[in-house]
Amino acid sequence: MQPTFFFGPSSIQRRAMRRAATALLPLAAWCTTQPAQALTAADQLATYTAASSRAPQSARGQEFFTTKHGHTWSCASCHTATPTVEGKHASTGKAIRALAPAANPERFTDAAKSEKWFRRNCNDVAGRECTAAEKADVLAWLLSFKN
């Protein structure tokens, strides 16, 4: 009897494996682009509220949004004092879509994206990261706008 050597899958088996992998590529791409959990602005507000351990106040949020905090800009410098309309970046002039979720339903639906922009914008406006309480107040004010 001759010994049997295994050198790997046959050409037929390799083709079948390639076809199976190719068929799964769209599914794999979809899975990696979908958020782990659907997030709403209200979910985001609840997260900030829990982290701050105080109830958010819309009036405090409006005041924070429209006030300069020792720097050149306020939030309203780019997003306008009425965040249901399109704004414009103060230095680049680039258009900024409406910030209030009522006018732009995509806002505050991605936690990582929200954190990224809070971090950048708070640094520009206040020269530091915003606290969870400040984020909750601003978001409470933004959620007070209705269509």
Contact 44, 108 (CB under 8 A): yes
Please state the domain extents for the chain: 70-147
Q: Using CA atoms, how far apart are residues 41 and 43, in angstroms rounded to an integer?
A: 5
pLDDT tens, the chain, 147 aa long: 666 566 667 778 778 777 776 766 555 555 545 445 558 999 999 999 999 989 999 999 999 999 998 888 999 999 999 999 999 998 888 999 999 999 999 999 999 999 999 999 999 999 999 999 999 999 999 999 987
pLDDT of residue 19: 78
- Fold for domain 70-147? Cytochrome Bc1 Complex; Chain D, domain 2 (1.10.760)
Give the H/E segment covering residue 88. strand 87-88
Residue 139 CA to residue 144 CA, distance in Å, equals 9
Q: Residue 17's pLDDT is what?
A: 73
Predicted TM-score (pTM) above 0.85? no
What is the pLDDT at residue 44?
A: 94
Quote the pLDDT of residue 25. Answer: 57
- DSSP β-bridge partners for residue 88: 95
Alpha-carbon gap, residue 104 to 84, rounded angstroms:
8
